[in-house]
Amino acid sequence: DAGVTQSPTHLIKTRGQQVTLRCSPKSGHDTVSWYQQALGQGPQFIFQYYEEEERQRGNFPDRFSGHQFPNYSSELNVNALLLGDSALYLCASSLGGGGYEQYFGPGTRLTVT
């Protein structure tokens, strides 16, 4: 049973560019959440997708957007990259409805220069 997978593993971008990160949830899960983790900090919730719609959103600007596909996989897009967007981006999958543990992928390390 495959767990949560994310691609790419590492990414280097320049300020102002756009980036797309991808996530495939654990088999049987229908909800995908994205988190940003800066160095030395705990993960911060970006948003959550369920039934192909954004269900919840954290305190992140509109430059951060996402999408969920019918097979429950998801993308995170970040436009107009800033140096401060450098972080580990984590995807987590879970069952819809809340109150369940989340399964995290290995993350994508994004470096903005």
Segment lying near other proteins (by CB under 8 A), choices 14-22, 60-68, 70-78, 84-92: 84-92
Is 85 strand, coil or helix? helix
**Residue 74 sits in the site that holds other proteins (CB under 8 A):** no
| Cβ closest to other proteins, residue 33 vs residue 68 | 33
List strand residue ranges (DSSP E) for 8-96, in order. 10-13, 19-24, 31-37, 44-50, 53-57, 64-68, 74-78, 87-94
CA distance linking residue 85 with residue 83, whole number of Å: 5
Q: Quick check: helix, strand or coil at residue 84?
A: helix
3-state secondary structure (DSSP) of residue 30? coil
> According to CB under 8 A, which one of 24, 33, 68, 74 is a site residue for other proteins?
33
Q: Is 43 in the site for other proteins (CB under 8 A)?
A: yes
Nearer CB in complex with other proteins: 78/108: 108
Q: Does 94 bind other proteins (CB under 8 A)?
A: yes
Per CB under 8 A, residues contacting other proteins are: 4, 31, 33, 35, 37, 39-45, 48, 55-56, 58-59, 88, 90, 92, 94, 98-107
